[in-house]
């Protein structure tokens, strides 16, 4: 998980915009909270290649409260509301590539439109699940594949708490292993992020400096 202390949130981040516009909410810039997302990623595939990802994102209590503010969560309408928000969030994330980036060297590996969105809530926190299939199975390679999930404006901490939060499908586990790389922004980069004025346009290059990455290495069978 990211250890660097991030600057206070001063505007709506890309991810929170996707969440909150789904809930038809409007926020003043100074009112938006810092948000945290605990992630679990299931990497799917077999000896023929990697086929996609299943994402499980659990939001902090404050973000959850904003998400459901003004929504009908009565027992009669609860499931309808959850289904509506789940589909809206998935649609709103399309323009930001679902905050998910997958590379072979510097070449992006393409995926299809996200599917199977599910939104649930328990103990004051919302959990969002969805599947991101690749356009076609990507052949296993001994070259390290790089995988990242992050809000480009860095205002949301999206992180895996540990190795248990990365799951390889049973077949893929026979051929692949992974390593979580923690971010190490320089003091200069941290200072730059902290100095962004409240009325500045978001800097979409900062998020990658403050995010974890996953290196996936495979050993194809012959």
Can you list the alpha helix ranges (DSSP code H) found in the chain? 14-22, 61-68, 78-93, 170-173, 187-194
Which tokens in the block code for residue 66? 């904003």
pLDDT by residue (tens digit) across 109-124? 999 999 999 999 999 9
Q: Note whether 64 and 124 are within 8 A (CB).
A: yes
Tell me what percent of the residues of the chain surpass a pLDDT of 70. Answer: 82
pLDDT by residue (tens digit) across 123-132? 999 999 999 9
CA 206 vs. chain centroid, Å, equals: 15
**Kind of pairing, strands 156-159 and 145-149?**
unpaired
Contacts of 48 (CB under 8 A, 6+ apart): 137, 139, 140
Please tell me the predicted confidence (pLDDT) of residue 22: 62
Please tell me the predicted confidence (pLDDT) of residue 94: 92
Can you list the alpha helix ranges (DSSP code H) found in 69-200? 78-93, 170-173, 187-194
pTM: 0.85
Instruction: Name the residue with higher pLDDT: 210 or 148.
Output: 148
Which of 54, 39, 42, 40 lies closest to 168 in space, CA to CA?
42
Please tell me the predicted confidence (pLDDT) of residue 5: 41
Instruction: Name the residue with higher pLDDT: 177 or 30.
Output: 177
**Kind of pairing, strands 156-159 and 35-46?**
parallel
Structural domains for the chain:
14-218 (2.70.170)
> Which residue, chain included where needed, has tokens 């590379």?
103
Please tell me the predicted confidence (pLDDT) of residue 198: 56
Q: What is the mean pLDDT of the chain?
A: 85
Give, in order, the Cα–Cα distances in Å from 1 to each of 61, 62, 182, 213, 222: 18, 20, 7, 10, 36
Stretch 56-82: mean pLDDT, rounded?
A: 94
Q: Any bridge partners for residue 218, and if so which?
A: 176
Q: Note whether 102 and 135 are within 8 A (CB).
A: no
Which tokens in the block code for residue 161? 């708490």
pLDDT by residue (tens digit) across 76-103? 999 999 999 999 999 999 988 999 999 9
């Amino acid at each position: 998980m990211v250890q660097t202390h991030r600057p206070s949130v001063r505007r709506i981040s890309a991810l929170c915009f996707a969440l909150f516009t789904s809930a038809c909410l409007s926020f003043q810039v100074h009112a938006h909270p810092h948000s945290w997302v605990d992630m679990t990623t299931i990497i799917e595939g077999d000896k023929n290649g990697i086929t996609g990802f299943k994402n499980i994102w659990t939001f902090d209590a404050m973000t959850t409260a904003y998400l459901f503010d003004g929504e009908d969560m009565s027992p009669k309408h609860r499931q309808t509301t959850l289904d509506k928000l789940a589909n809206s969030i998935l649609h709103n994330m399309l323009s930001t590539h679902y905050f998910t980036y997958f590379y072979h060297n510097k070449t992006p590996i393409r995926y299809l439109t996200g599917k199977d969105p599910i939104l649930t809530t328990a103990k004051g926190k919302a959990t969002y699940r969805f599947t991101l299939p690749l356009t076609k199975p990507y052949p296993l390679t001994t070259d390290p594949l790089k995988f990242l999930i992050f809000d480009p404006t860095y205002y949301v901490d999206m992180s895996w708490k540990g190795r248990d939060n990365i799951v390889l499908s049973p077949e893929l586990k026979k051929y692949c292993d992974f390593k979580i790389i923690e971010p190490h922004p320089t003091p200069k980069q941290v200072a730059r992020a902290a100095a962004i004025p409240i009325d500045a346009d978001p800097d979409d290059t900062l998020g990658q400096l403050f995010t974890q990455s996953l290196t996936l290495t495979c050993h194809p069978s012959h």
